[in-house]
Structure 1
Amino acid sequence: MKRDLQVSHHQSRTDKPAASDFPGLLQAAMDSLDSQIALIDGAGVIHYVNKSWCDFGNENGMPSGYTWIGSNYLAVCRAAGNRGDCDGRQVYAGIKSVLESDAPCFQYEYPCHSPNEQRWFMMRIAPVLEAENRYIISHNVITGRKLAEQRIERLNEKLSLLAVTDKLTGLANRMKLDDALESEITRAHRYRKKLSLVLLDVDHFKEVNDKFGHSAGDAVLVRIAEILRANVRATDVVGRWGGEEFLLILPECDVVAASRMAEKLRLIVERHSFVFVGKRTCSFGVATYQSGQDCTALLCLADSALYRAKNSGRNRVEIAADIKPYANTSDRTNKLASLNQAVKQ
């Protein structure tokens, strides 16, 4: 065993390259790297580049045989920044901070897409150890990682959307509606803005499921969702509240405007002929936010108005009774009558 170690040690000493061979070996090693490597001085002047650096330049429009040695890399970055290149401006500032010893190193991810493919790189600069006034710059390909990050980001966005979307109709689900309503009530209270709700329910929906099957019932819900989505404002939130109920959150919308919208939707549904099912109708309850109300109170008002619409013959719009704390029932009735007249007009 001892003799084998001695022989091995002797062979390693005889196989060791001479010191004079080292610069050539180092050059070959640097040229074998995929990373683009350059050596600059404290002024940003390039003193060395490896083969990958030259190849990348040739692939991206630099003339064949271009001499990098003596070029000022810092000046190139500054010129790019002056032309409005955000990446060039940030890289210039980062390199400058290292050259002026304000930072031990600097690295920056940036895109550099070609006509045929998407590409990303990581640029890094750091001082060369035990070498005064010399700094090494590397550009490493990170395209694989960036593409993987983009796929994960898209997947996360999709999952986030699914978490707040009703699977059947594609509208906002109950969780999304709860969050949106709480946010809108906070905004209405803080800025004294109008806010209304419209709660609607498909009339005799159980009859649809019992007579035509659940697939037909689902088709009715999907079509109503499409009608709602197509006939509200971009600022409105439309969602499936549960079962055959839908909720509209209408920011900056008073009771008259909300009731008119409900009446318009009621007529559209009434005149529509649903596949397999034929004519269907919906009942609507409208409520408007009053200062101090929370989500539960406002929803209860809309629900009570919807309940009244269902009990009054269905296929109608009812407005929540306690719009204001009127002194007596007669005042409240007169107010509702005037609102209903305004809606019809």
Structure 2
Amino acid sequence: MDEKSASASGDRAKNRTPSPQGEALRALVVEDDAIIREDMVQCLRRAGVMVIPAGDGKEALGLFLEHFPDLVVTDIRMPHMDGLELVRRIRELSDEVCVVLISAFTDNETLLASINLGVNGFMPKPVARQELIDLSQRCSLAGKGERTLLRKVLDNNPDLFLTTDGERILYVNRPFLDFLGIQSISGMDAMALVASRISPAEGYEGDNWIAALASDDSAADHLMALAPPVGGEGERAFLVRVSRLPVEDTLFSIISFIDVTSIQEERDFYLDLALKDPLTGLGNRKRLMDELEKEIWRAERYAKDLSLIMFDIDDFKRVNDTWGHQEGDHVLREMARIVREDMRRVDLVTRYGGEEFCCLLPETDLRSACCLAEKLRRIVATHDYGKPGRLTASFGVAQHFPGESSDDLIARADQALYAAKRSGKDRVEPAPDPSDLEELSAAGSMPPPLLPVADADEDDAADLDPSRRGN
């Protein structure tokens, strides 16, 4: 068990409270001799104790994590994992559970090791039945309520908890049962049940996502979205923490799901504010730059087209000077609204600054982007903006080329925009290829005026339809 897991489990153990009166004691009896084990099991059951039998230390540790017993009675010499190693691992989880060693021999080395591990008592073999019963009663009166305390602590904790060995879910707490919409996992294939009722939003798809999560070292402090069963609330965000307890070739895990939905929603709210232009409701320049970097990565990774439109309202200063800044703000909001209405869901429209806007168009080549820009130019020019009346805008369009940075792509679109301004405004200009600019620069020549896109006729309707761009 790693240091962090042991510390977390130890903290929980220190805050345990006694079992309530009247609740049956649970005892884990660990003995590799089947006859001796059965004799102890029957003796304790007749005394009203709920007994969990185990044939060796490895099996016992798994049962401990599943049942959280109040009392552990274990032999010392056993295959796979001896009694002292079992006690050591149990003590890493809790100082409160009552542990008793049984053995046909006792040497000083074993005695010293047992004392260091905090063993509560010894019983010689053959085990006297009445002594075993008296021991269980003393344990109950002493309030060693490991099972009760663990379950009550976990059941009253709003977080979701489960324990698993990677193949089975051994235990889930009450909030997790409520989240699943069931009363108990008893008699069920809990691993399959959880996988069928809850779907992680991303990262751990498939029917065995709990096992994948338990074995993934990177899963600690991992943010995960879970969709509850049908009929439940919407998708919720959880901070997932995994504590692991390796036992030979088996990895036991305690997985907690801490509901951070409200924190995530608040974070998303402020993040949205940071990336949104407050006047138009469009994304701002930071949002454009963030998304542009992602789309460039996608375009180069999957060999997809990507284009950018930049447009600027012509003579916008005259609107502010003539009608005032409130009318200017109205124009900007209207411009944002009419342009956004004609875009695909995957497209991004942002306010770049002042009266300048950008449209980021994934999976769109230069010709399709220019056709869309021409359509937007017509929409802008025919719209009534109120007191200012009719207005126009100039458009520059650039397609991303492999290896081109976001700044270079924006610079080419911006250059095309101002070429449209210089050529008379109210027009669309495509940007030259980066290779053309490099050749002209090397030759010491200024770029020639860019030719406008010809007016689109009715035959171009398919190209102007945003739902068909990039197909």
Instruction: Tell me the TM-score normalised to structure 2 length.
Output: 0.44
Percent of paired sites with the same residue: 36
Higher share of residues assigned helix: 1
SS where residue 283 of structure 2 aligns? coil
Q: What SS does structure 2 have at the residue aligned with 1:235?
A: coil
Distance 1:216 1:111 in 2: 46
Match of 1:14 in 2: none
| Partners of 2:429 and 2:451 within 8 A in 1 | no
Q: Which residue of structure 2 lines up, in the alignment, with residue 132 of structure 1?
A: none
How far has the Cα of 1:240 moved from its partner?
Answer: 0.8
1:340 aligned residue (440, 445, 454): 454
Q: Is the CA contact (8 Å cut-off) linking 2:306 and 2:361 kept in structure 1?
A: yes
Q: Call closer, same or farther: CA 1:256–1:153 in 2, change over 3 Å.
A: same
Q: Distance in 2 between matches of 1:111 and 1:255?
A: 40
Deviation at 1:90, TM superposition (A): 9.4
Q: Which runs of 5+ in 1 are unaligned?
A: 1-19, 38-51, 63-71, 93-109, 121-125, 127-141
Counterpart Cα distance in 2 of 1:342 and 1:242: 29
1:80 CA displacement: 4.7
Query: How far, CA to CA, are the matches of 2:390 and 2:399 in structure 1?
Result: 30
Correspondence for 2:70 = none
How far off is 1:155 after superposition?
A: 0.3
Number of residue pairs the alignment of both structures matches: 269
Residue type of the partner of 2:306? L
Counterparts of 1:280 and 1:288, CA distance in 2: 27
Shift of 1:241: 0.5
Residue of structure 1 equivalent to 2:39: none
Shift of 1:265: 0.7
Inter-partner Cα distance in structure 1 for 2:409 and 2:328: 29
Q: In the superposition, relative to structure 1, how do residues 23 and 164 fare at CA in structure 2: closer, same or farther (>3 Å)?
A: same
- Whether contact under 8 Å (1:288, 1:323) holds in the other structure is no
User: In structure 2, do the counterparts of structure 1 residues 31 and 225 end up closer, same or farther at CA, with 3 Å as the change threshold?
Assistant: same
Structure 2 alignment gaps of length 5 or more: 1-136, 156-173, 199-207, 212-225, 239-244, 246-255, 461-471
CA offset at residue 239 of structure 1? 0.7
- State the shift of 1:82 in Å: 4.8
Q: Are 2:269 and 1:155 equivalent residues in the alignment?
A: no
Q: What's the offset of the Cα at 1:255? A: 1.5
Any residues of structure 2 matched to 1:186-265 within 5 Å, and which? 186-265=297-376
Where 2:454 maps in the other structure, the secondary structure is helix
Paired residues of 2:374 and 2:428 also in contact (CA < 8 A):
yes
How much has 1:117 moved relative to structure 2? 10
2:382 to 247, 271, 275: 271
Contact 1:322-1:332 within 8 A present in 2 as well: no
In the alignment, residue 430 of structure 2 is paired with which amino acid?
Answer: I
8 Å CA contact retained: 2:374, 2:455: no
Going from structure 1 to structure 2, the CA distance change for 1:342 and 1:175 (only over 3 Å counts) comes to: same
Describe the shift of the 1:343–1:164 C-alpha distance in structure 2 as closer, same or farther (beyond 3 A). farther
Inter-partner Cα distance in structure 1 for 2:304 and 2:193: 45
* Alignment CA distance shift 1:117-1:256 (3 Å): closer
Secondary structure, in 3 states, of the residue corresponding to 2:343? Answer: coil
* Pair 274,35 (structure 1): closer, same or farther in 2 beyond 3 Å: same
Q: Which amino acid aligns with 1:158?
A: F
CA distance in structure 1 between the partners assigned to 2:274 and 2:285 by the alignment: 10
Aligned partner of 1:283 in structure 2 is 394
For the Cα contact (< 8 Å) 1:256–1:342, is it kept in 2?
Answer: no
What is the root-mean-square deviation of aligned Cα atoms in Å?
5.2
